[in-house]
A = this chain, B = another copy of it.
């Protein structure tokens, strides 16, 4: 691309907007090919500049097809956010540098992290008695940080285990507390959530921990239990900012960013301020909430670019009308996909109890498991990728986070119908 004359490929303006407005949920006579738009890049040749010493690659927005990415995380991001990030990667808003180069204590980055925090506060309507921390290490680091910060080694704490992630959180908490599983869905292969009335909580448990959405098993809490004597803590990694949440019901909400709100590398912790400041002596300093709260997430160098990306996503979610609007879109996508499964006469099956099916992660199997590899392969040929289920459970999984367009789910559903017609 450094050759001369400089060739600039402009995007076909139609390419990203699949014309599937008001489609029937099952477009019975729509052949898949009608979903593939003819996409020719327009090549516009401009005169070469008079000097050509500049060896920098030209920015390319060439017409390479964007896939529909159903990965469970890292996952698809909003297209306009990516394009905005691309446009200002080299020089952020006239600052003369990339966000990646900014001192985390300079005024430019401070404006970025402060706006990200403020926008997140608006999005989730986070009360002022809660701190927002931007940390590193993923939810898995929080599995340790939570007991290390909140309890003594002999304190009882309760875990409600509805999938693999809740189980991992419990196992890590055992190192630093008297953690107990008060209910596990394991015997049902993690397909349901118990009624809260019947839960036998430990009388003195300091907290009750749940995983609000199990990424692997596709089980999502639609409402929340109350901790009998302590606080409620939720790992919301895979449904964070996918719908409104009453933050005041929780002591801590935490989430790895890489599902709904950004790239991997930043973990968001929303914590009631009065819970901060009681870390066990053996707590590594980087796992101590007080250190991070006292320093506004700037005790050491934070993952600056990841925080910046989250900020762009928060802006985008606000521009969409906030989380009520986002939830409507997510419900529509999920209903479309679950209907396709349920109306397939058993060709596709979702094992999860209907009332707790995740709006984010949709696991399903084929009646004929021997077809599953073909399903994944053929879908990939149609530019729908990462549909293979987690290696621990098999089958398929379609993750349809905020940034998955309706058109992506429509295309998947059309493909499923076509695949069924060919293999039933």
Instruction: Report which A residues bind B (CB closer than 8 A).
Output: 1, 6, 8, 10-11, 13-14, 16-17, 42, 44, 46-47, 49, 51-62, 64-67, 69, 71-77, 79-80, 82-91, 94-98, 100-104, 106, 136-141, 143-145, 148, 172, 175-176, 256, 258, 262-266, 281-282, 284-287, 299-306, 309, 383, 385-386
Contacts of A74 in B (CB 8 A): 100-104, 301, 304
Closest chain-B Cβ to A61's Cβ sits at a distance in Å of 5
Query: Do A10 and B49 touch across chains, with their CB atoms under 8 A apart?
Result: yes
Query: Do B84 and A98 touch across chains, with their CB atoms under 8 A apart?
Result: no
Tell me the complex Cα distance, A258–B266, Å. Answer: 15
Which of B53, B61, B71 sits near A106, CB closer than 8 Å?
B71
Closest chain-B Cβ to A238's Cβ sits at a distance in Å of 11
Besides A76-B101, A100-B262, A303-B306, 19 other CB < 8 A contacts?
A: A13-B53, A14-B54, A44-B46, A56-B79, A58-B87, A59-B60, A59-B83, A59-B87, A66-B97, A71-B106, A73-B103, A73-B301, A74-B103, A136-B137, A138-B286, A172-B284, A175-B282, A263-B305, A264-B305
Report the nearest B residue to A56, measured CB to CB.
B83
Query: Do A82 and B64 touch across chains, with their CB atoms under 8 A apart?
Result: no
Query: Do A82 and B98 touch across chains, with their CB atoms under 8 A apart?
Result: yes
Contacts of A385 in B (CB 8 A): 96, 106
Tell me the complex Cα distance, A8–B49, Å. Answer: 13
Name the residue in A60, A103, A309 with the highest tally of chain B Cβ atoms < 10 Å from its Cβ: A103
Query: Do A10 and B6 touch across chains, with their CB atoms under 8 A apart?
Result: yes
- Oligomer copy total: 2
Closest chain-B Cβ to A147's Cβ sits at a distance in Å of 10
Which of B67, B96, B139 sits near A67, CB closer than 8 Å?
B96
Closest chain-B Cβ to A12's Cβ sits at a distance in Å of 8
Name the residue in A77, A86, A96, A262 with the highest tally of chain B Cβ atoms < 10 Å from its Cβ: A86
Query: Do B284 and A13 touch across chains, with their CB atoms under 8 A apart?
Result: no
Report the nearest B residue to A256, measured CB to CB.
B301
Contacts of A58 in B (CB 8 A): 61, 87
Query: Do A101 and B265 touch across chains, with their CB atoms under 8 A apart?
Result: no
Tell me the complex Cα distance, A69–B304, Å. Answer: 16
Tell me the complex Cα distance, A172–B14, Å. Answer: 56
Contacts of A97 in B (CB 8 A): 66-67, 69, 76
Please, could you name 24 A-B residue pairs with CB atoms under 8 Å apart, sorted by A? A13-B51, A13-B52, A13-B53, A57-B80, A64-B91, A67-B95, A69-B96, A69-B101, A71-B103, A73-B103, A74-B101, A74-B103, A74-B304, A85-B89, A86-B86, A96-B383, A104-B264, A137-B141, A139-B300, A141-B284, A175-B281, A175-B282, A265-B302, A265-B306
Tell me the complex Cα distance, A86–B60, Å. Answer: 9
Closest chain-B Cβ to A315's Cβ sits at a distance in Å of 13
Contacts of A282 in B (CB 8 A): 175-176, 282
Beyond A141-B137, A263-B304, is A90–B101 a contact (Cβ under 8 Å)?
no
Contacts of A94 in B (CB 8 A): 64
Beyond A74-B102, A138-B300, is A11–B96 a contact (Cβ under 8 Å)?
no
Tell me the complex Cα distance, A26–B55, Å. Answer: 30
Query: Do B46 and A264 touch across chains, with their CB atoms under 8 A apart?
Result: no
Beyond A82-B98, A90-B61, A284-B284, is A8–B301 a contact (Cβ under 8 Å)?
no
Question: 8 tightest A-B contacts by CB?
Answer: A265-B303, A13-B54, A67-B96, A144-B284, A59-B59, A100-B263, A71-B103, A136-B136
Tell me the complex Cα distance, A56–B405, Å. Answer: 16
Name the residue in A51, A137, A144, A299 with the highest tally of chain B Cβ atoms < 10 Å from its Cβ: A137
Closest chain-B Cβ to A243's Cβ sits at a distance in Å of 22
Name the residue in A52, A85, A98, A285 with the highest tally of chain B Cβ atoms < 10 Å from its Cβ: A98
